[in-house]
């Protein structure tokens, strides 16, 4: 029986797993430090793949998920953050040449969305919007059972949707993107600015402050902390209303650490969303739910990509 190898390249860890067609649990799995700032990344990638290959199985395909931007059509990494060695780098072609099997590459957020569609909270839905709210905001979109990639392979960068052109700077350097309002660092930045302006709070204005600290303070009734999440939820609702208008999904799935604070974020989000969809039909039957796959989403998404592209049987 043949297998698919899935690879998830993260900021701190690089993971690989081998899957048969009929199993969601891997036959073998391995993780190693990514060490993105050090040379030799490709050799480390080859090694972690080799370590999960069963001796008695043929490889059908390899799927790789990586931070973008990247081009899934050519398999090139364009400018991955914190990894200058892999800028404009033919990652999928090099892996394909080394192992002699078809190799496919896509954005890690796209693949998390694909994984939730195939194996998680999106099962049974043909039109899926996945949004991860964490250090950044990423997304994956499935339309009529097909992963949306776009002409350049750069579709679904929804965290960089412009919410307010005069808004705060985003991590990418442009102003007013959704990520600059509703990501974890954006919530912290807002709270710190308010503290520096003299707003009373149990929060302390120091470099160790994080979104979890602000959530804990909000649950204790701190008004500034509550307002920080209300603001994040308000802008998240503005963004998602536009995404509903563009994609008309039947399910919106939220992943990422910030999304785990629950009603603190989602009460203002849902109120904002209801106010901003231009017709209530968009909300009829719409499921809004949490991701189910956790850390397994990256590997399962890479597996699903390779399966989808190679016709794995």
CATH number at 273 reads: 3.30.420.40
Asked whether residue 215 falls in the same domain as residue 251, the answer is yes
Map residue 63 onto helix, strand or coil: strand
Q: What are phi and psi of 113, to 5 degrees?
A: -65, -40
Asked whether residue 175 falls in the same domain as residue 211, the answer is yes
Residue-number span of the structural domain to which 95 is assigned: 3-113+295-310
Asked whether residue 198 falls in the same domain as residue 243, the answer is yes
Asked whether residue 128 falls in the same domain as residue 266, the answer is yes
Would 256 be classed as within a structural domain? yes
Q: Per the omega criterion (within 30 degrees of 0), is the bond before 79 cis? A: no
Low pLDDT (below 70) residues in the chain: 312-313
**CB-CB contact of 146 with 114 (8 Å):** no
Q: Please name the residue that has the structure tokens 């993107």.
A: 177
Tell whether the torsion through CA atoms of 175, 136, 248 and 263 is positive or negative. Answer: negative
Would 139 be classed as within a structural domain? yes
Asked whether residue 220 falls in the same domain as residue 136, the answer is yes
- Nearest-angstrom CA–CA distance, 86 and 40: 10
pLDDT of residue 312: 62
Neighbouring CB atoms inside 10 A of 103's CB total: 26
Would 205 be classed as within a structural domain? yes
**CB-CB contact of 211 with 257 (8 Å):** yes
Would 118 be classed as within a structural domain? no
Would 165 be classed as within a structural domain? yes
- Nearest-angstrom CA–CA distance, 289 and 111: 18
Asked whether residue 109 falls in the same domain as residue 131, the answer is no
Would 53 be classed as within a structural domain? yes
Asked whether residue 87 falls in the same domain as residue 140, the answer is no
Neighbouring CB atoms inside 10 A of 173's CB total: 7
Asked whether residue 274 falls in the same domain as residue 301, the answer is no
| Tokens read off for 167 | 């808004």
Would 267 be classed as within a structural domain? yes
Asked whether residue 138 falls in the same domain as residue 86, the answer is no
Map residue 281 onto helix, strand or coil: helix
Q: Give me the number of domains the chain comprises.
A: 2
Asked whether residue 107 falls in the same domain as residue 223, the answer is no
Asked whether residue 251 falls in the same domain as residue 182, the answer is yes
Would 207 be classed as within a structural domain? yes
User: Greatest CA span in the chain, whole angstroms?
Assistant: 66
The H or E element spanning position 15 is: strand 13-19
- Nearest-angstrom CA–CA distance, 120 and 291: 7
Residue 256 zone, left/alpha/beta (φ > 0; ψ -120 to 50; rest): left
Asked whether residue 197 falls in the same domain as residue 280, the answer is yes
């Amino acid at each position: 029986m043949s297998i698919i190898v899935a690879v998830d390249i993260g900021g701190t860890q690089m993971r690989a797993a081998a899957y048969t067609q009929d199993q969601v649990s891997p036959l073998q799995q391995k993780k190693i430090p990514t060490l993105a700032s050090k040379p030799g990344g490709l050799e480390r990638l080859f090694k972690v793949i080799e370590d999960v290959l069963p001796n008695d199985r043929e490889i059908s395909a390899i799927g790789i998920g990586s931070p973008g931007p990247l081009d899934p059509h050519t398999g090139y990494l364009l400018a991955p953050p914190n990894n200058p060695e892999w800028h404009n780098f033919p990652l999928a072609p090099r892996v394909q040449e080394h192992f002699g099997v078809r190799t496919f590459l896509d954005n890690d957020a796209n693949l998390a969305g694909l994984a939730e569609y195939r194996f998680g909270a999106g099962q049974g839905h043909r039109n899926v919007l996945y949004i991860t709210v964490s250090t950044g905001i990423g997304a994956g979109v499935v339309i009529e059972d097909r992963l949306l990639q776009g002409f350049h392979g750069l579709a679904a960068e929804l965290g960089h949707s412009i919410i307010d052109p005069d808004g705060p700077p985003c991590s990418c350097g442009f102003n007013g993107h959704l990520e600059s309002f509703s990501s974890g660092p954006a919530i912290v930045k807002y709270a710190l600015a308010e503290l520096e302006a003299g707003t009373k709070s149990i929060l302390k204005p120091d470099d160790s402050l994080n979104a979890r600290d602000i959530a804990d303070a909000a649950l204790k009734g701190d008004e500034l902390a509550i307002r920080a999440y209300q603001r994040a939820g308000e802008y998240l609702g503005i963004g998602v209303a536009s995404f509903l208008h563009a994609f008309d999904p039947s399910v919106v799935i939220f992943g990422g650490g910030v999304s785990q604070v629950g009603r603190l974020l989602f009460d203002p989000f849902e109120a904002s969303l209801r106010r901003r969809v231009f017709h209530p039909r968009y909300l009829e039957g719409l499921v809004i739910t949490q991701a189910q796959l956790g850390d397994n989403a990256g590997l399962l998404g890479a597996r699903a990509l390779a399966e989808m592209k190679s016709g794995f049987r």
